[in-house]
Every structure is written in C-alpha cells, then in structure tokens.
Structure 1
Amino acid sequence: MNLAEFCLTHAHADVSKTALEVVGPGGEIEEIWTFGDLRRAVLSVAAGLRARGLNPGDRVLLRIGHSSDFPLMYFGAIAGGFVPIPTSDQLTAGEVGKILKDSGARLVLHDGEGPVPQTMAAPLLGPGAIEDLKTAAPGEFAVAKDEDPAFLIYSSGTSGTPKGVLHAHRSATARLAAHVGWIGLSSNDRLLHSGAFNWSYTLTVGLMDPWIQGATSVVYKGPRDPEVWPEILEASKATLFAAVPSLYRRILKYGAVSKDSFPCLRHGLTAGEGLPADLHAQWRERTGRELYEALGMSEVSTYLSSGPAVPVKPGATGKPQPGRKVALLKETGDGLTETGTEETGLLCVHRDEPGLMLGYWNRPEETRAAFKGPWFVTGDRSRRDDDGYYWYEGRADDLMNAFGYRVAPEEVERVLLDHPNVQEVAVTEKEIRPGVSLIAAFIVPNDPELFDEEDLATFAATSLADYKRPRIYKALQHLPRTRTGKIRRKALTADS
C-alpha cells in the first residue's frame, strides 16, 4: 500500500476527527486539520504534482519552513508516487545545492523563506504554486508496491559528504512495532512533538505514528525557548511528548516544572541522543512521569526502546521492539559471530526489517558494504546484559551527535580549512557535563596571534547549518596523531 494512504487510512479514523493541530505561543490553536481535510489536501497535492508532468519515482526537494505546508507537500508527493526529499530550513544554499545535484530532483518546492542556490538545477515552484497545489482537484493514491521508493533522507556520511538514504513504502508498517514497544500509542492520544516539521524524527513520531493509529498530532509553532514548553504541554492537553534529551534537560533547568504540571501527560518519549541516567532520574523526580528512550538511525526505523511494556533500566537503551530481528555481532576469522552476554559488539538489523532502507542513493558499493550476509551493520556499538537490555556504547566511526542530528567531522573540517588562518583542524564532540556534548574544533592556526573564535564562528555560519557548527574553538600548536598519521580525536578531548 502507498505509505501516505497507509498513514491516513490504517485506523479508518472518523473524517471529522482532528488529525493535526498547529499551536502557537501560549498554546493557542492556529490551525486544525481533520482527517478528511488532510486526506483531501494530500490528494490535491498529489494530483497537482502529477499535472506538472512528474513521473512515478521522480524526486521532489522540499525547501519549506516550519508550517503545515511541509507535511502536505511531503505526504502529497508520496501519495502521488513521487519521492520527497525533506531538508532542514537551517541548511545553507551551498548545502542545498549539493543535495539537489546528488539527488537529481526534478522539482523544488520553495516557500520563499529558506536559502536556495542562485543557479537551480531543477524548476522551482514558489509560494503561489504551493497554494495552487493544495487547491487542485483531488486525485487518487498512486498504487505502490512494498519495495517502491517512498522518500529520500540526506544525512552526513562518514566522509562528510551528504548521503541519500532511500526508503520504501513498506517502512510505514515498521512503525507499528514502535507503537507497542516504545510509544504506547492509541487513537485517544494527543502527541506533541518538539521538532520542526522537516526533521525525520517529527515526520515519523510526530506525524506518521499518530495518524496511523487515528490519534491527533500536535506541533508547536513559536519561540523555542525551553521555559515555554511546560505551558505548551499544559495548554495543548498533550498526552505524549517527544523531544531529544537535551531539551528535557533544558526544560528542567529553565522551566517551571512540578508533579502538578501538564496533568494530561502520561509519559515522555526521547530519541536522537542517548538518555543519561541522571536526566531520567531528575525528570521522574520533578514531574512524576516516565521517560522512554528509543534508538534508531536514518537507515532504519527505531528498533530498540523502553516503553510501558518494557520498564526503564536507567542508562540502558531498552530491548528490541516486538518482531524486530536484532543481533550483536563481532568480526572473527569465520565472518560475523554473535557476542556473548556483556560483550560489546556491533548492532545489526536483519535485512527483512521493513523499516530498513532500500539503500544509499546512487551508491551501490556503499550499500553492499553496509550489509554482511543477511545483516545490516548499523555502526553502533552496544552490549546486552543478562536481562536482555541493550547498553549503547557509541559509534564505531567518528560521526558526532549534535542535538539529535548526526554530523560528520570531515564535513565541518572541510569548511573550516577554507578559512585563511586555519592550517589544520580536527573536529570532534566534547562532553561539557554528563550527558551534554558540544561540537568542538581544534585548530592549528597559521598565525596564532590572529586566532579569533568569533571570526571562525562567523565564517562557519556561511557554509554550515546551525546544528553542524562548532560551539567550542581551541587553538593548538599541533594535532595529536597516531604513528600512521591518523588524528587521535579522543586525545583532543582528554587534553582540553
């Protein structure tokens, strides 16, 4: 079944029931979309794109900010049999240009807000055309097979070059396991997501999951200061809240929170970053509510989690969700073998998992390399205890985690190397306190007397999205290296 059709018809929700609420500052409702409204608008967009001459499988790049237009264009493209490419509105024009070139997108939908390249490799439809798409005569959902491409997500690859991750229509069914093993979702829920519409975490947990179950999605549109969230949670009557751990920590620090706060909330959901045990304890103590963590990545739906049916073991990620085929494997002379209890290995997901990607866009060799026999090797390291809980132990590569986004050090380093006073640079994560890490740039300057943190930060802002930019800059006489010349990133943070 078409992914968009599955999301909007699986629960056979009453067409008059609210599917989406957009709330503004103070929690007042700015937009209400019923399931009937949503389905009609999505099918209008699908028909409108079809009338523009797109063929099944054509890619459509979305340059749309935090508005309801984003999900309408995203699910409308999927409904029409096309492949949307969601992009963060924080990306620079140069970053967008790289994705546009690599994806071969046939069309760009732009609301006029976020930056786009001056020279476009595909036709651009602006705000007026977007309005026309929403009001076109509705068509039908395109017929799709399970393995047909549905959407394309770009994330930082280990080389620092944006890499497309192609997913199939079948990925919608993979979300059902998360509803049981993590979210505890029912049709009566009101799920508030803290993220922007264009983030894959929001598109799945914030939109797809509630709609699949006939529940209501609530998305906030307003200032993102941490102290506003308790008021938004209470005013929206959210029963579930999804955010990254760093936001929960900031809410506790800056917000007015007690056990009497937001009385409708059953529990919180967290993903994108590891949930520190101390943060989990503080949230429970202050709010009296549970926090449930999940682990996933761009290449595969969330697959490990705690939840109402899987009690939290502080510090542990959780257990495989129902039906997930997960293994901890290590390389031996005979290939991959399973690890024993409390032995660290690579987290692997079976290729039969419906939430697993079709592959890396136009990168057949990298796709093949990501699989070892029947297993997709995630690159995440973990161990399993006697109770079957998995304990996350970081990445096998150097990818950093910045506010829930994975960022390749090489991408940041390449930008900073263009600065006239940067001779060498190494970028890595630095833990500033337990559970909180920032991107740090360690620089060997051409002229130490001209080393200027503010100048470097301004320079980085011209080419990098905000979440990719270093928050710490430090000058060094030389970078620590191994005998073979490889940068010792752990030594950088240990010595600083």
Structure 2
Amino acid sequence: MLSVFDQGPPPPCPAPFNMAAYVLAHAESQPDKIALSVVSPTRSERWSYGRLRDAVLGTGAGLLARGLRPGDRVVMRLGNSVEFPIAYLGAIAVGIVPVPTSAMLTAGEVARIVDDIAPGAILRDPEIASPDAPGVPEIGLERLVAMRDLPGAPYAMGDPEREAYIVQTSGTAGRPRAVAHAHRAIWARRMMHDGWYGIGGQDRLCHAGAFNWTYTLGTGLMDPWSVGASALIPAPGVEIAALPLLLRRHQATIFAAAPGVYRKILAAQNEILLPDLRHGLSAGEKLSDAIREGWHKATGTAIYEAFGMSECSTFISASPEAPAPAHSLGRPQAGRRVAIVDDAGPVEIGTEGVIAVSSRDPGLMLGYVGAETETRARFAGEWFLTGDLGQMDADFNITYKGRADDMMNAGGYRVSPLEVEHALSRFPGIGAVGVAEVEVKRDARVIAAFYTAEETIDEAALAGFAAANLARYKQPRIWRRLDTLPTGPNGKLSRRALRALMED
C-alpha cells in the first residue's frame, strides 16, 4: 500500500468569486454581531460585521481613488493594529493585490521585496521601517484610516484563479521569495474548519499573534469571519502572562498560538482556569509532547496541531473529531490529496520520505513571483515537495521527521541559513560564517552564529550589525568564534556539526 491519502476532491470554488466578499458574507445576515474584539486587561475595541465590511469597502474605494487599479500590488508596511486586516481585505475587495510584510523587516529587506514585485504603492505607518523607493507612492496611515468613511466600492468579482495576495517565505537558495496565492485559497481553507479547528458560528477564537502575522491573518481572522464567528486579538503590548485572564474574561472557546506561547504561559502558571475553552490550536513549528501534556494538565483541554507552509496553508492536522495518535501531526484533511514520496514517487506505508501535496490542491500557491525556475523545482510530477520529511501509517496519520534541508524555524518563521550567513559575511573582519538552529533548553530553540576571525569580535557589535540588516526573528542570539568551521566529506559546511558544538 502506497503512502497516498485521497478520499475525493473538495467542492469546487464558485465563480465568479472574491476572497473578501466570501470572508465578510456574514455582514449581510448579521451586521450587528461582533466580528472582532481587540482585547486588553483594561479595555476592548469592538468591531461589528457591518462596521468591518463598511470600513473594508470604503478602504477599497479609497485605494482606487488614489489611482490604483485591479491587479496592482501594494506592499503593506503597517503595525500591529486593526488597520492591517482592514487594508488587506480592502485591497482584495477591489481586486488589488496586498503584500503583507512583517513589521520586523528592515528597510533593506523590504527594498528587495519592492524590487521583486514592483508594487503600485506602499501602505505605510511612519513608525515602520520602509525603504526609499523612487516612483512608488506611499499612502500614509492617516489617509488609510480616513478611507474607511468613504462610500464603499462594490466587490470586484472574477476568476477564482486570479492573484489575490502575496506572502513572503524564505527561499531554499537563501533569497526570500514572494509567494502568490489565488482568491480560491480562502475557499480551500474550508477543509480546515472541521479538519483542524472544529469551529462554528458560535465560537470565540482568540489568536495570540499580532495582526500583521500571516498566521493571525488566516487562522485568527479570515477563517473565523468566514463562518460567522467572533475573533479575539490581544491589543499591542499585552504580555503573554495576561493571556489566560483575557481568555477567561472574554469567554474564548478556541485558542490559537505558536508552541512558544503555550510554553511561556505554562512556565508562569501551573493551573489555568478556562471554563469556556474547548481546545487549543498550534502551528508554525513542531509542538512538543511536553507542551501538549503540560497544557492538558493545566487546563483540561487538548491542543490540536497542524502542518502547513506559506506555499499551501495547513493541510495536515489533528482535530476534535480526529485526535492524533501520540507523536503524530494528524492526518490530511478531507478533500486533500497528500503523499509521502521519494525520487521515484509515493513510497510504501511506513517508509520515510518527503511530505508532498498534489498540484491539484486548491490551496496551493500560484507560484513564486518572478521565479519560474524555482517554482518548477518544487514539483516532481503532480507533487509539490514541501522539503519536510514524514512517515504515513495505515490510518493515514503522518509523523513528522524533520527537514530535508537546513531550513531553520525561528518562533514560527522559516528562515534560510544562507540568507543570514550572506548578511553576516559583510561584517568587517569576519571570515567564514555558518548559522544553525540550536536547542538552548527544553522546547526553546534559537539561531546561533559561528564565525572565523583573527580574534573574538565584540558581540554587541555583531548583534547591532545583525539588527541593522536582518529582521529580529532572523538575528542570531548566540555568537561563537571558531578556528575553522566544520565541513563534511564534500567540503561543504556541516550544520549538523555546528549544532553538535552547542551540545558539548
């Protein structure tokens, strides 16, 4: 028996279609229901479905009035605030393509994104780093906020295959890539509603992430709104230690976070009273058994894990209806076609290989922008190769076996070591440099940098250089000088040996 899961395709995406119209459809039937609460220990900011829809369509009208046209791309340099999802959906509503970016990126990193995608404008909070981009107009935060009150534009309905939004991911060659997704991607996420969330219109889902993180945009906002649920997002500055209080006070029924957030909550509290919580969700990096078991002991609820990536949102998961066996990610969601493959194709059940998703999956990317060769290299026949290793059992449960390459995971963000090494190699006086993800304590991993130089370099200088050239999540937290960097038999840098150095 081959390691292939296929129980039939999902219902096709309707046409014509618009992602924003689909997400905000419940504004028509329940305009007064609370769609979003931005919560803190002292206050809450509430948005009804009707108010949210009006702000989105007003923003769309304002973008068109600024001369942007359907198909144009806009880079989003906005902070952790409600302006982010409103601008994101406002662009999509009228056929403009938003490019959400992390506020942690440096101006130099954003400059490369601008070069790659040739945007028609940059949506800009003046507090967020942004490059000088001659010929690319900026639309400031004040103007964006004022657009909410404009008469709303109609939704731009069209082919569900057309480009809807672009997200960033680390490229395997060390250069971040822009990943283009179609409007149909949100329709494909319906497979997650039962296959991971167990969500309905009565739910109150709290996501611990910032508005401007793609994990929050999808799991914390777009999906709850798609089913008419209420989204709860912690206000900027809320400490992780305050999250249990907010979950209890605002009667959250589902909690979503990266594993590191669960770990920090458990480190601060042994017993957590959450009477309304049914379960938690985890994605972004591997959830450890210690965190899973600790959360269940502290709250009496389970955490359901999911596996996905920028190129195809979560497609393997556990759920309330199908809990995962010990050490397993879960199984592919109903409607997916997923396999474990090697160079010859799908492998036998129980054999380790690369996790792959069919090119027919409606949630799969359109491709890497301006990188057709790299796009083709990610496919083997019908299979999109994730670069992650796994093993499927006879019940289609998949056990994660790690990366097939050296890609690192920093707090839920995938980071190419080549990108970090390239940036650090420009530091004056540094020789060779190699980076690796290392475990500094149980369930806590950071990026470590190893370098050669005539003498040890001041760590503050190295850290300052990294901060000026790399987003915070890409910056090494450990620096170590070596006489030589370890290599394998082929003379290439051995990252496994670098990791082993930290275990000595």
CA positional deviation for 1:10:
6.1
Write the letter of the residue equivalent to 1:99.
I
In structure 2, the partner of 1:364 is 372
Distance 1:434 1:315 in 2: 17
1:20 matched to 2:36: yes
Unaligned runs of 5+ in 2: 1-16
Write the letter of the residue equivalent to 2:201.
S
- Aligned pairs for 1:288-367 (under 5 A) are 288-332=300-344, 336=345, 338-367=346-375
1:401 matched to 2:416: no
CA positional deviation for 1:339:
1.4
In structure 1, the partner of 2:473 is 467
CA positional deviation for 1:9:
0.9
Query: 1:8 and 1:397, CA in 2 relative to 1: closer, same or farther beyond 3 A?
Result: same
In structure 2, the partner of 1:145 is 159
1:492 matched to 2:494: no
Distance 1:380 1:11 in 2: 39
Secondary structure of 1:251's counterpart equals helix
In structure 1, the partner of 2:3 is none
Write the letter of the residue equivalent to 1:387.
D
Secondary structure of 1:195's counterpart equals coil
Distance 2:446 2:276 in 1: 33
CA positional deviation for 1:265:
1.1
In structure 2, the partner of 1:198 is 212
- TM-score normalised per structure 2: 0.94
- Aligned pairs for 1:373-452 (under 5 A) are 373-445=381-453, 447-448=454-455, 450-452=456-458
C-alpha RMSD of matched pairs (Å) = 1.4
State the Cα deviation string for residues 366-414 of structure 1 (Å, max 9, x = none). Answer: 1112122211111111001243210111121221110000001011111
Distance 2:27 2:54 in 1: 17
Write the letter of the residue equivalent to 1:474.
R
Contact 2:210 2:236 in 1 (8 A): no
Query: 1:391 and 1:120, CA in 2 relative to 1: closer, same or farther beyond 3 A?
Result: farther
| Relative contact order, higher structure (CA 8 A, sep 6+) | 2
Contact 1:100 1:121 in 2 (8 A): no
Contact 2:179 2:311 in 1 (8 A): yes
Secondary structure of 1:422's counterpart equals coil
- Structure 1 runs of 4+ off > 6 angstroms? none
Query: 1:121 and 1:241, CA in 2 relative to 1: closer, same or farther beyond 3 A?
Result: farther
Identity among equivalent positions (%) equals 44
Contact 1:257 1:287 in 2 (8 A): no
1:454 matched to 2:469: no
Equivalent of 2:131, from 117, 127, 134? 117
CA positional deviation for 1:11:
8.6
Write the letter of the residue equivalent to 2:282.
T
Unaligned runs of 5+ in 1: none
Q: What is the number of residues matched between the two proteins? A: 486
State the Cα deviation string for residues 340-383 of structure 1 (Å, max 9, x = none). Answer: 22211111111111110000101111111212221111111100
CA positional deviation for 1:118:
3.2
Range moving further from structure 2, 51-60 or 243-252: 51-60
State the Cα deviation string for residues 168-199 of structure 1 (Å, max 9, x = none). Answer: 00001111111101100000011111111111
Secondary structure of 2:209's counterpart equals coil
Distance 2:92 2:270 in 1: 40
In structure 1, the partner of 2:180 is 166
Write the letter of the residue equivalent to 1:88.
S
- TM-score normalised per structure 1: 0.95
Contact 2:324 2:331 in 1 (8 A): no
Distance 2:464 2:238 in 1: 22
State the Cα deviation string for residues 424-445 of structure 1 (Å, max 9, x = none). Answer: 1101111223432111111112
Distance 2:427 2:21 in 1: 49
Contact 1:184 1:307 in 2 (8 A): yes
CA positional deviation for 1:52:
1.6
